[in-house]
Amino acid sequence: MTLKDVKVGHTVTVKKLNGEGAIKRRIMDMGITKGTQITVRKLAPLGDPMELTVRGYELSLRKADAEMVEVTE
């Protein structure tokens, strides 16, 4: 399951980061690393981007980037 598929209000744990080079590095710089818990707070009116709570702060992430993050319940 990817972060893109998580429903609003659910909390998940990062299992693996997919992607290459700069994109993967940018996601990691935002604090999304293996073992991190992420809560999906809400979605924008058209569904993209999603607002997440990561390590105690709010983060907006595009669904294209969220698709690269594998998570478990």
Domains of the chain from N-terminus onward: 3-72 (2.30.30.90)
pLDDT of residue 9: 92
pLDDT digits (tens, 9 = 90+) for 30-47: 889 899 999 999 998 887
Q: What counts of helices (H) and strands (E) characterise the chain?
A: 2, 5
pLDDT of residue 58: 93
pLDDT of residue 45: 87
Q: Which residues have a Cβ under 8 Å from the Cβ of 41 and sit 6 or more positions away?
A: 8, 51, 52, 53, 58
Residues of the chain with pLDDT under 50: none
